[in-house]
Amino acid sequence: MGKQEKIVSMFNDIAGTYDIANRVLSMGIDKSWRNKACNKTFELYGQKEIEKIVDVACGTGDMILFWKQVANENKIDLKNIIGIDPSVGMMEVGKKKLPDVEFIEAFATQMPLDDQSADIISISYGIRNVVERQEAFHEFARVLKKDGLVVINEFTKNKKEKLLDHVTDFYMNKILPTLGGLISKNKEAYTYLPNSIDEFLTTENLCKELKVAGLEPIHVKAFSMNISTLIIARKI
């Protein structure tokens, strides 16, 4: 089993408890991060009618709920939203929450979607689980319309400069695996999550990779003591 397959199988295993674990571990603050991402994206895209949003590594459909809700609040006519994820277990949970949404089993690097067919592609707290990240960015560029937007929410690695950075680090590496393990009965999965952030790229490197794929970062903002970063890039 390759690294990518192992990650998928781990997410299948924790699918049933993933939502509650997420809320507890982020202390509910991920809702605010997601909300801000949707609002900022709609503001930058500037269209009142959007044909298609694709949410990649959609998991249980959390981000899809936010896209729909924020589109409504902003009186945006969102015609279609699709969830894509290689984990069938996670999407089964999503289908119960969102029976009207189409979920497709696929990797971020090989999406069964037409060229230039999406207005917006989002990936929230999932890009660190994509082993072939650069290939995924090229695939996003293929599927996006010209001037379409890629929206990334992610836990990014930052230099530990302040006391608060060390507090964050302690939470991620010590408290998160224990709590997540208790809730999901799978400590290994929640040990993997902070490790995947530590192995993960800096915001700067992520922006470089996006540029290589023809996706120009136009908005970069860190939230909550730099725990989470929002990057919005435009297809040029």
Dump pLDDT digits (tens) for 153-193: 987 765 555 555 655 565 556 666 566 555 656 656 555 55
pLDDT band of residue 127 (cuts 50, 70, 90) is confident
Strand 228-235 to strand 215-223: parallel, antiparallel, or no bridges (unpaired)? antiparallel
| CATH class name, domain 3-235 | alpha beta
Per the annotation, does 41 bind a ligand? no
CA end-to-end span of the chain, whole Å? 37
Distance (Å, whole) CA 145 – CA 233: 13
Distance (Å, whole) CA 26 – CA 176: 9
> Per-residue pLDDT averaged across 100-113, rounded?
96
Contact between 42 and 71 (Cβ < 8 Å): yes
Give pLDDT, residue 226: 75
Q: Is the pLDDT higher at 1 or at 78?
A: 78
Query: What is the sign, positive or negative, of the torsion defined by CA atoms of 191, 36, 123, 22?
Result: positive
Dump pLDDT digits (tens) for 34-91: 999 999 999 999 999 999 999 999 988 999 999 999 999 999 999 999 999 998 888 9
Q: How many Å is the Cα radius of gyration of the chain?
A: 17
List for the chain the helix, strand, coil content (%; round to 5). Answer: 50, 25, 25
Per the DSSP assignment, residues forming a β-bridge with 155 are 228
Q: Mean pLDDT over all residues of the chain?
A: 84
Distance (Å, whole) CA 226 – CA 236: 28
Query: What is the sign, positive or negative, of the torsion defined by CA atoms of 7, 64, 180, 91?
Result: negative
Contact between 219 and 150 (Cβ < 8 Å): no
Dump pLDDT digits (tens) for 137-149: 999 999 999 999 9
Give pLDDT, residue 67: 98
Per the annotation, does 85 bind a ligand? yes
Distance (Å, whole) CA 22 – CA 155: 13
Residue 197 has pLDDT above 80, yes or no: no
Q: Is the pLDDT higher at 137 or at 205?
A: 137
Per the annotation, does 169 bind a ligand? no
User: The pTM is what?
Assistant: 0.80
Domain ranges in the chain are 3-235
